[in-house]
Amino acid sequence: MLQAIGLTSTPRRGRRPAVEDLTFEARAGGVTALLGAPGSGKTTALRLMLGLERGRGVTYFRGRPLHRIAHPLREVGALLGDLPGHPARTARGQLRMLCAAAGVPVARADDLLDAVGLSGLHDQRLGTLSRGMDRRLALAAALLADPHTLVLDEPAADLSSSEARWLYGLLHTHAADGGTVLYTTDDAKQAARVADRVVTVDAGRLVADQDADDFARTRLRPRVAVRTPHAARLAAVVSREARATRRSVEVVAEQGNRLCVYGSDCAEVGEVAFRHGILLHRLAEETGDTGPQPPSPASPQAPDATADSLLAPLRAPLPEPLPAPLPEPGTGTASVARPEGDAGPRKPSRRRPSHRATRRHPTRATPLPAAPKPRRGPLRPLRYELRRLLGVPSTAFVLAGALVASVTIAVVLARVGRTPLPATLAAWPELLPLPPVALGAGLIGALSFGDEFRYPVLSTALGAAPRRLGLLLAKLAVTAGVALLLALTVAVADLEVLRVVYGGALIPVPANWPQLCASWAGLSVGCAWAGLLAAGVFRATAAGVAAVLSVPVLIAPLVQKTLVVPSARSVAGLSGRLRELAWPHWPAEVDRWLDGALRVAAQPVGAALVLSLTALFCTYLFAGVRRRVRW
């Protein structure tokens, strides 16, 4: 069961809150529709329930708030709009990346793709999917960890009738297995037909909370809307003449001078008012939502005979969609119904079926395969980051571009012969602020966090927020590994190309090669981390690239001016003094590495990188703590 209590959004300056003191519940074993016109606060209410929007109130999922649930994805599956994801990522790659974030086996991705009817489109890019295919993939992402509760925002928007029937059949299958389903809609007739309970909201406030049968009987019947200054008199006259002629007519008095007459039409009501000299300000036929209160008869009447005939199509079970062949990949056609018998053997359901849902909707879709319990561990964010990095072609393009640019620049610099050998191997002429390897590593780091905010996949993956410390450590480790691999590959490639083009005699091995290798590795990793942290702080890839370029252009000159100032003290011999303070004595070889690291850090670019990384890391931690306190 889902219980929302006192949901109130944070209002903007000078405006009332989009959701105000909204309280309702969605019962297990049934489908609940949150009905309201566009702009009534339905989406904001869902975001408040999932903790994606700031505000007040609390939502209990089977008696527990979301932040106290050990495995949130096991409890709640969310579908808010279109599926967020990089357009160049494949459907299978998207689900496998989410499997790593949720801690479920990657085989679950293929099972769900088959279950939602996308078995032939595993390798299709997200940017080429049609509206129906995208909605199927988003539903598969919501069902990834086999959640008990589904929270869906306009799941059938812009879908064809067959797609909508398939979707609602799947929702009723989930509810019949004991799950809870809450979805939003602005179609009152569709809500009465599909849902078991209808919660109506208007301007962010609760209007009505009714069973679907009561909602359809009291608020979807054809009626005559009358506005007159003599409402009580007209109601009495219409009721008296209806009893005299033995007709089933029901008169409902609403707020002000408004009446709703059921079982009659405009001609009859107008003639009665004319015969008795009653002034009418409005007389119109309506069908739809009638307001917050169910109709109460102004006088005892017989039941309306036309209500059952109107409710008959609303109570009819949903038809089973016919299977259709899957389109060819890349055609961009509408998505298709799920073929029968393509999901393999099913595990027995662990939930108790809902007899009410079975009686109301006897025709349901095939049950989905059950998912194992999600695993928690330090490798989960690492697996996610690796799949995120390797799942898009931009990573390969950046690495290949850095390699080609480095080899080309190295050949040109060796041809001219004015650049020292270390700078030639690094492909770092004086005209460039950084070598191509450092720029490529910085771009990889900037994309690592920039894509998280441009394509916010983790915002709907509950419990896996982009600012988690475990995810930050995983990104730091992965980007450092990629930067070191790129630096090693480029150095070896430049050396071999120069040997092939100009001969090995022109490329002697420098005596200080360990220090040069450490500087090269530190520069690559430092630029990657600078781009990563800056993109995480400012939530943009461009900010990460700007932070990398600012190190040699802005910060390094300031550091160089500071270092050239004469000083009376020196840090020479620091490694020896650290040896005396340390309880376990390390080997003497470590002193050489410490002295080399200090010399690297004392260089203007190295010192600028250390200062930049320290400032960005502290800013990142401060922003994360501040966000946690405010939320």
Q: How confident is the model at residue 504 (pLDDT cuts 50, 70, 90)?
A: low
pLDDT of residue 256: 79
Identify the CA nearest to 50 among candidates 20, 68, 83, 76. Answer: 76
Distance of alpha carbon 543 from the chain centroid: 22
Over residues 472-493, mean pLDDT: 94
What pLDDT band is residue 85 in, cutting at 50, 70 and 90? Answer: confident
Per-domain boundaries in the chain: 2-215+322-360, 222-303, 379-630
Q: Quick check: 588 pLDDT over 80?
A: no
- pLDDT (tens digit per residue) in 207-249: 889 998 888 877 777 888 999 999 999 999 999 999 998 888 8
Nearest Cα to Cα of residue 523 among 449, 447, 425, 412 = 425
What is the structure's pLDDT at 596?
54
Q: Is the pLDDT of residue 164 over 60?
A: yes
pLDDT at 17 over 70: yes
More confident residue, 295 or 29: 29
Please report, as a single letter, which amino acid is at residue 45.
A
370 secondary structure, DSSP code: P
Query: Which has the minimum average pLDDT: 89-98, 377-386, 422-431, 432-441?
Result: 377-386
Q: 580 pLDDT band (50/70/90 cuts)?
A: low
The pair of three-digit structure tokens given for residue 592, joined into one six-digit string: 């050489």
Least confident piece of the model among 23-37, 179-193, 490-504:
490-504
Would you state the CATH architecture of domain 222-303? Answer: 2-Layer Sandwich (3.30)
pLDDT of res. 171:
92
Q: How many whole angstroms separate alpha carbon 199 and alpha carbon 40? A: 12
Greater confidence (366 vs 51) lies with 51
309: phi then psi, degrees, rounded to nearest 5: -70, -30
Report how far apart, in Å, the C-alpha atoms of 227 and of each of 9, 242, 282, 291, 334 are.
Answer: 36, 19, 5, 15, 47
The sheet with strand 197-202 has its strands ordered as 76-80, 149-153, 180-185, 31-35, 197-202, 205-211
Report the C-alpha gap between 151 and 182 in whole angstroms: 5
Residue 519: pLDDT band (50, 70, 90) is: confident
pLDDT at 363 over 90: no
Give the alpha-carbon dihedral of 526, 532, 535, 539, to 10 degrees. -160
Q: Which of 127-141, 210-224, 354-368 has the highest mean pLDDT?
A: 127-141
Res. 447: pLDDT tops 90: yes
607's CB contacts (< 8 A; 6+ apart) are 556, 559, 563, 601
CA angle, corner 419, sides to 418 and 423, nearest 5?
175
Q: How confident is the model at residue 466 (pLDDT cuts 50, 70, 90)?
A: low
pLDDT at 585 over 80: no
Is the pLDDT at 175 greater than 90? The verdict is yes
pLDDT of residue 289: 52
Burial of 112 (0-12, 13-18, 19+ CB in 10 A): buried
Would you say 289 and 219 are in contact if contact means Cβ atoms under 8 Å apart?
A: yes
Percentage of the chain modeled with pLDDT above 70: 75
Whole-number pLDDT of residue 280: 93
The reply to whether domains 2-215+322-360 and 222-303 share a CATH topology is no
- Give the model's pLDDT for residue 347: 38
Asked whether the predicted pLDDT for residue 19 surpasses 80, the reply is yes
Per-residue pLDDT band for 316 (boundaries 50, 70, 90) equals very low
Res 148 pLDDT > 70: yes
The answer to whether the CB of 147 falls within 8 A of the CB of 74 is yes
Which whole-number Å values give the CA distances from 68 to 24, 61, 65, 102, 511, in the listed order?
21, 10, 6, 16, 59
pLDDT of 315 over the 70 cut: no
At residue 308, the pLDDT reads 42
Please provide the average confidence, as pLDDT, over all residues in the chain. Answer: 79
- Fold of the domain spanning 2-215+322-360: Rossmann fold (3.40.50)
pLDDT value at residue 599: 56
**Interatomic CA distance for residues 532 and 442, integer angstroms:** 7
| Higher-confidence position of 253 and 340 | 253
Alpha helices in 84-226, H assignment, sequence order: 91-102, 107-115, 131-142, 161-176, 188-194, 212-219
Question: Does the structure show a pLDDT above 70 at 415?
Answer: yes
Chain mean position to CA 186: 22
Contacts of 571 (CB under 8 A, 6+ apart): 598
pLDDT band at 542 (very low <50, low <70, confident <90, very high): very high
Is residue 444 over pLDDT 80? yes
Secondary structure in 3-state letters for 618-631 = HHHHHHHHHHHHHC
110/371: higher pLDDT? 110
